[in-house]
Amino acid sequence: MGEIVLKKLKDDNPYAPYDEIEIYAAALTNFCEAEENVRNYGIIIAHPRTGVPMDNPYLKILDAASKQMLACKRIRNTQGAWDVAKKKMARQESSGAVEIR
């Protein structure tokens, strides 16, 4: 998924630095995967060994990815990349290709 998002971001942001585009694309990919896990399992999950309720660890990934995307100030046009990422995740999910832990 990352290559498609990266290409869309490059096309939509021709004057942004390439390294910043790569960082944003990776963060967006991580964000979408973590968001899917939280949507499927919720924000509170059972600890795998003890069964004690705990925060879903993917919440930390969501938070970190959000901060990375916000730090990429020169990326202006992101809607196309979001659309591509969401469609790709939906296709992977329907085919059973997404591994949710």
pLDDT digits (tens, 9 = 90+) for 1-17: 678 888 889 999 998 89
Residue 22 located in a structural domain? yes
Residue 78 located in a structural domain? yes
Residue 68 located in a structural domain? yes
Residue 100 located in a structural domain? no
Residue 67 located in a structural domain? yes
β-bridge partners, 54: 45
Residue 36 located in a structural domain? yes
What pLDDT band is residue 95 in, cutting at 50, 70 and 90? low
DSSP state of 15: T
**In terms of C-beta distances under 8 Å and separation of at least 24 residues, what long-range contacts does 56-59 make, across chains too?**
58/34, 59/34
- Number of separate domains in the chain: 1
- Angle at CA of residue 32, ends 1 and 70, nearest 5°: 105
Buried b (16+ CB within 10 A) or exposed e, 44-75: ebeeeeeeeeeebebeebbeebeebbeebeeb
pLDDT tens digits, 10-62? 999 998 899 999 999 999 999 999 999 999 999 999 999 999 999 999 999 99
Q: In the chain, how long is the greatest CA-to-CA distance?
A: 51
Q: Tell me what pLDDT residue 79 has.
A: 77
Q: Which domain, by its residues, includes 89?
A: 2-95
Per cent of the chain over pLDDT 90 is: 55
Residue 101 located in a structural domain? no
Residue 74 located in a structural domain? yes
